Structure 1
């Protein structure tokens, strides 16, 4: 019997496999996000995305703007693409309705803008790395994976694994390398809708998490405005010294890989690699 997964394998490039993995893990990406992160030009990206779409590896939808017109294509994993990713990872095949449920989820959810914002952060890092050989986004984990007990606790410590209950829900985890410096981090992506007290309360959860793991990484708050950042930093002034918390704002055109991060307790900005 003809196996569509085997049939399509020879038509995939390494870049295709990265893209399929991202869509499988992170739900939805726009054409511009994919182009910035993985391709040398928008036109090249659009042609390749069309090919993958015709192969039924990816699906797409285009939300309508409230003031008329439509947004760019939003890309999702299709069923065959999900099966290809699962096979490459030696995982159990996805449910037969995996792609249908994902399409329904992202075309109707109120959290689409938040997810696209989180994905914009990481694709901006990937885009920087694409044009800067000394930089690399080595790992990008979604919120759901951060909740799994085995993600940050190794199997050689079964007692800790059984006791591990993530007290926080980061929007993502990344491992960034630049100029020989490696920085693991958790991301908190802020849309400006939550009260500042809700944001600062998350620090307690991170402190508990790091105490359980006996290690810690920087916590990045990526804020929508400079005013929001100033107000949050007043609230964060009493963060324990054992935690490394840094803030940055999307108003800074340098992007998350640039010199935009200010650690709590310091007014100077540094690059992500400087954390």
Structure 2
């Protein structure tokens, strides 16, 4: 059973650490993370992570849900903002105070979202980059934008995320297309790459489009579709089994794989469609 939850948000403040603030911001930006994902990004010991998440749940800062596994047992806990977490983030970003009903509806809709697996897959990509940077101080994930923020800023594209990845003094921008194997590649790829081409023609960034695929078969099929098509948009592929910071990316038309930091990247205008945007959505490791 959770601990009693104080009605006053101010009464919780002495219990909130800097790491807790970072976690609340991550969940505000990216909606849901599993215990394992949070552990790899923010904690050294898994047990410490589990205990802290339980404490934040008891304070009403986090909420959680999980599903039964076929054949018995349960899937891992999925964590999202609790009511006090929504209240804290609303205060931090000058948004209207959410009601308890609104917070509960948000959690319920997220848990029942048919695209939940896709959202977790896209988040996992950035989680792996973050975890890699923790072990390699010369690297940094300088930006992690969600699908909604990426769409808001670039408008004509519908990427699953956008990031800036740095290694020493080199920075590569990218757009992520996370594939769960549920959509036909041909129609999806053609439509999406046309939109990326229009973005670059308007003076926007010419970042590589990263297709993160569920199987080697899907990857091979995609490269067959890309032959001789959309040469104006840099595309590279890798599978979910690989660490995205490593030498795993196969550019379209190439025969060898390269590291993420080695992909071509032209930053163009910082934000193509919204010159008044102030970049406060970055995530730094």
Counterpart of 2:185 in structure 1 is 196
* Distance in 2 between residues matched to 1:258 and 1:93, nearest whole Å: 43
Query: For structure 1, which segment, 114-123 or 94-103, has the greater mean C-alpha deviation from structure 2 after superposition?
Result: 94-103
Given the alignment, which residue of 56, 59, 64 partners 2:68? 64
CA shift for structure 1 position 56: 0.6
Instruction: Report 1 or 2 for greater relative contact order, CA contacts < 8 Å, sequence distance ≥ 6.
Output: 2
Q: Are positions 1:21 and 2:25 aligned together?
A: yes
* Distance in 2 between residues matched to 1:77 and 1:94, nearest whole Å: 12
Listed as ranges, the matches of 1:94-133 within 5 Å are: 94=98, 96-133=100-137
Structure-1-length-normalised TM-score: 0.87
Structure 1 residues 40 and 271 mapped into 2: Cα distance closer, same or farther (>3 Å)?
same
Partner of 2:15, secondary structure, is coil
CA shift for structure 1 position 95: 5.3
For structure 1, the residue ranges without an aligned partner over 5 or more in a row are: 153-165
* Distance in 1 between residues matched to 2:98 and 2:193, nearest whole Å: 35
For structure 2, the residue ranges without an aligned partner over 5 or more in a row are: 1-5, 264-285
Q: Are positions 1:271 and 2:259 aligned together?
A: yes
* Distance in 2 between residues matched to 1:136 and 1:4, nearest whole Å: 37
Q: Is contact 2:193-2:230 (8 Å) kept?
A: no
Listed as ranges, the matches of 1:126-275 within 5 Å are: 126-148=130-152, 151-152=153-154, 166-201=155-190, 202-252=192-242, 255-275=243-263
Given the alignment, which residue of 85, 89, 92 partners 1:88? 92
Counterpart of 1:74 in structure 2 is 78
Counterpart of 1:50 in structure 2 is 54
Structure-2-length-normalised TM-score: 0.84
CA shift for structure 1 position 238: 2.3
What RMSD in Å do the two structures reach over aligned CA positions? 1.9
Q: Is contact 1:224-1:249 (8 Å) kept?
A: yes
* Distance in 2 between residues matched to 1:181 and 1:125, nearest whole Å: 16
Q: Is contact 1:17-1:85 (8 Å) kept?
A: no
Q: Is contact 1:27-1:102 (8 Å) kept?
A: no
